[in-house]
Chain A
Amino acid sequence: MAVELTENQQLAAINADYEERYGFRDAENYLYKAPKGLNREIVEKISEFKSEPQWMREFRLKALDHFLSRPQPTWGSPLMAEVDYDNIHYFVRASEKAGRSWDDVPEDVKRTFDRLGIPEAERKFLSGVGAQYESEVVYHQVREDLEKQGVIFKDMDSGLREHEDIIRDYFATVIPPNDNKLAALNSAVWSGGSFVYVPEGVHVEMPLQAYFRINTENMGQFERTLIIAEPGSYVHYVEGCTAPTYSSSSLHSAVVELIAKPGARIRYTTVQNWSTNVFNLVTKRAVAHEDATVEWVDCNLGSRLTMKYPSVYLVGERAHGEILSIAFAGKGQHQDAGGKIIHAAPNTTSNIFAKSISKDGGRGSYRGLLEIAKGAHGARSKVVCDALLLDEHSRSDTYPTIRIGEDDVNVGHEATVSKVGDDQLFYLMSHGIPEDEASKLIVNGFIEPITKELPMEYAVEMNRLIELQMEGSIG
């Protein structure tokens, strides 16, 4: 009985913590908030607000037609049926322009990011920061020395205004607007996100970070990110996201395109911690040219439903792709995550390591594709997906697809599903470790191969979040 009480207290503490740390909401003091629903008029209004060139306006309207003509996907998760596109605000403007100093950011919005610890993180260990509040970026800064070397780190709206020639060449070449229904939606109403350009040979040693915050109920956030790494360059981009908890849904549908030119390396890290009323339906895809490397480190903790499969097209010889994915599905959550690697050139290599943890009736799914095209001889790939179930009510599914069109390749696939075993717990407890601590240790050990790839500050945060989710899970 005493144990049960403690667990209940701990469970209550978890919710209190999300509310306090991330779940708070600000009063709405907006310059513009679109009425709910999507039509041609809203799309034109967004484009007009941003004073965009005609080609982008036409791109948006064509994408809207694609979105409206495509059926809602029925594969993946039954929760997709809950997405109500008519009950979403597609554009909310909180600030006049993106500030380059925190002093330029409206007071209430700045307070939000202060509470989330963003300015502090910027001072300590980042090369640049972008902070998006609702539809638009309210703060953007990059270190001067990087700017001098030609590194561009802008919000996408400013990027389009100031570097239209580059953007026009690359925008939507990795993910066309008609790629899927959600990509079409993003293409029609995109706003915010990051534009990163790293010149040839430049190494951005400390990460660039973007932080995405939804405040309004029934909000749709549709940021658009494009990263171009010129030959021999390196960049690490980190994104995080949170929202207040509301009883009705919000929608987050980003499109992220990465282009790694010959010999370049891009690492893209996500720590997704949306509140559990957010549908997180994101398209992320990268192209890696000769000798280039692209790494996706994708951690999904929050949201009601996440459907996200970062992919890498290895189009140049000896290109390397890496996908490290952690998904944590708690009560009422479905994390449908995984990754896709396409070997389209000889001697390309890849790894996919996916770990999912399900508890309190949550559902974790791994959905992956490994494709080796005809002619991609000498390709090597290893796919490992492991699932950990913490109780009998939770669920894990694995949907791996492997297509191999070449003989001379080396492909490995391993999958495991396990429970936190009584023998493992007994072993640790026999060394004097309390049961809940022992359980956390086992989970942390399970995800350690991935968290060790995170920058230290994020690894610490990730472990803390996992521990929070874990509390009260034994019983």
Chain B
Amino acid sequence: MPQVIEVCPLNELEPGEMRLVEWEDLEIGVFNCAGTVYAIEDRCSHDNGTLVEGTLDEENCTIECPRHGSLFDLKTGKPKTLPAYVPVDTYPVIIEDEKIKLEVE
């Protein structure tokens, strides 16, 4: 069953910022990319790098894995460069009452 979890007030995640959210056994990276919030699995599909420790490119809406440099599209979770080739999971983001919420399962 999908469930909605609260991350933080919107003003606590400014554009260009990112943070890790842990829920049950999930680790999710939440990114504010030029005012739009995205959430993807916080684990590079190549070598388990922590994506929230990588570099956020707000112009192209990508996160670069700090371990080997794969770029992931924050909108789709798909890798845009090798060595990763498997997409990571994405999570629907809900902005409600000035708060960031995620739909998880």
Interface residues of A (CB under 8 A from B): 66, 172-180, 285, 287, 313, 315, 342, 344, 373
Which A residues are in CB contact (< 8 Å) with B67?
178
Which B residues are in CB contact (< 8 Å) with A179?
68-69, 83
Q: Give 30 CB contacts A-B under 8 Å.
A: A66-B69, A173-B81, A173-B82, A174-B81, A174-B82, A175-B82, A176-B64, A176-B69, A176-B71, A176-B81, A176-B82, A177-B69, A178-B64, A178-B66, A178-B67, A178-B68, A178-B69, A179-B68, A179-B69, A179-B83, A285-B82, A285-B83, A287-B82, A313-B82, A313-B83, A313-B85, A315-B85, A342-B85, A344-B85, A344-B86
Interface string of B61-87 (1 = CB under 8 A from A): 000111111110000000011110110
Give the interface residue-count category, chain B. 10 to 19
Please report the C-alpha to C-alpha distance between residue A342 and residue B46 in the assembled complex, in whole angstroms: 12
Smallest beta-carbon distance B77→chain A, Å: 16
Please report the C-alpha to C-alpha distance between residue A177 and residue B71 in the assembled complex, in whole angstroms: 11
Smallest beta-carbon distance B85→chain A, Å: 5
- For B80, give its contact among A66, A173, A175 (CB under 8 Å): A173
Which B residue sits closest to A405, measured CB to CB? B86
Which B residue sits closest to A178, measured CB to CB? B69
Which B residues are in CB contact (< 8 Å) with A175?
82
CB contacts between A and B, total, < 8 Å? 39
Which B residue sits closest to A69, measured CB to CB? B66
Smallest beta-carbon distance A379→chain B, Å: 14
Please report the C-alpha to C-alpha distance between residue A174 and residue B70 in the assembled complex, in whole angstroms: 9
Please report the C-alpha to C-alpha distance between residue A69 and residue B83 in the assembled complex, in whole angstroms: 20
Interface string of B46-71 (1 = CB under 8 A from A): 00000000000000000011111111
* Known contacts A344-B86, A373-B86; is-contact A180 B68 (Cβ 8 Å): yes
Which A residues are in CB contact (< 8 Å) with B86?
344, 373
Q: 6 tightest A-B contacts by CB?
A: A176-B69, A178-B69, A173-B81, A344-B85, A176-B81, A179-B68
- B67, B70, B71, B81: which has the most chain A beta carbons within 10 Å? B81
Please report the C-alpha to C-alpha distance between residue A312 and residue B80 in the assembled complex, in whole angstroms: 16
Which B residues are in CB contact (< 8 Å) with A66?
69
Please report the C-alpha to C-alpha distance between residue A342 and residue B85 in the assembled complex, in whole angstroms: 10
Which A residues are in CB contact (< 8 Å) with B69?
66, 176-179
Please report the C-alpha to C-alpha distance between residue A94 and residue B83 in the assembled complex, in whole angstroms: 35
Please report the C-alpha to C-alpha distance between residue A344 and residue B82 in the assembled complex, in whole angstroms: 12
Which B residue sits closest to A176, measured CB to CB? B69
Which B residues are in CB contact (< 8 Å) with A313?
82-83, 85
Please report the C-alpha to C-alpha distance between residue A373 and residue B85 in the assembled complex, in whole angstroms: 10
Which A residue sits closest to B55, measured CB to CB? A62
Which B residues are in CB contact (< 8 Å) with A176?
64, 68-71, 81-83
- B67, B69, B71, B83: which has the most chain A beta carbons within 10 Å? B69
Please report the C-alpha to C-alpha distance between residue A172 and residue B65 in the assembled complex, in whole angstroms: 14
Smallest beta-carbon distance B58→chain A, Å: 15
Please report the C-alpha to C-alpha distance between residue A147 and residue B70 in the assembled complex, in whole angstroms: 34
Which A residue sits closest to B49, measured CB to CB? A178
Smallest beta-carbon distance A312→chain B, Å: 11
Q: A176-B70, A178-B64 are in contact. List 15 more A-B contacts (CB 8 A).
A: A172-B81, A173-B81, A173-B82, A176-B64, A176-B68, A176-B81, A178-B66, A178-B67, A178-B68, A179-B68, A179-B69, A285-B83, A344-B85, A373-B85, A373-B86
Please report the C-alpha to C-alpha distance between residue A285 and residue B67 in the assembled complex, in whole angstroms: 18
Please report the C-alpha to C-alpha distance between residue A110 and residue B82 in the assembled complex, in whole angstroms: 39
Smallest beta-carbon distance B29→chain A, Å: 18
Please report the C-alpha to C-alpha distance between residue A315 and residue B83 in the assembled complex, in whole angstroms: 12
Smallest beta-carbon distance B73→chain A, Å: 13
Please report the C-alpha to C-alpha distance between residue A344 and residue B79 in the assembled complex, in whole angstroms: 13
Please report the C-alpha to C-alpha distance between residue A66 and residue B69 in the assembled complex, in whole angstroms: 10
Please report the C-alpha to C-alpha distance between residue A177 and residue B67 in the assembled complex, in whole angstroms: 11
Which A residues are in CB contact (< 8 Å) with B70?
176
Please report the C-alpha to C-alpha distance between residue A177 and residue B81 in the assembled complex, in whole angstroms: 11
- A176, A179, A342: which has the most chain B beta carbons within 10 Å? A176
Smallest beta-carbon distance A181→chain B, Å: 11
Which A residues are in CB contact (< 8 Å) with B80?
173
Please report the C-alpha to C-alpha distance between residue A182 and residue B68 in the assembled complex, in whole angstroms: 12
Please report the C-alpha to C-alpha distance between residue A278 and residue B81 in the assembled complex, in whole angstroms: 31
Which A residue sits closest to B66, measured CB to CB? A178
Smallest beta-carbon distance A242→chain B, Å: 31
Please report the C-alpha to C-alpha distance between residue A178 and residue B54 in the assembled complex, in whole angstroms: 11
Which B residues are in CB contact (< 8 Å) with A287?
82
Please report the C-alpha to C-alpha distance between residue A285 and residue B68 in the assembled complex, in whole angstroms: 14
Please report the C-alpha to C-alpha distance between residue A154 and residue B81 in the assembled complex, in whole angstroms: 24
Please report the C-alpha to C-alpha distance between residue A315 and residue B68 in the assembled complex, in whole angstroms: 19
Smallest beta-carbon distance B46→chain A, Å: 10
Which B residues are in CB contact (< 8 Å) with A315?
85
Which A residue sits closest to B67, measured CB to CB? A178
Please report the C-alpha to C-alpha distance between residue A175 and residue B66 in the assembled complex, in whole angstroms: 14
Which A residues are in CB contact (< 8 Å) with B68?
176, 178-180
Smallest beta-carbon distance A106→chain B, Å: 38
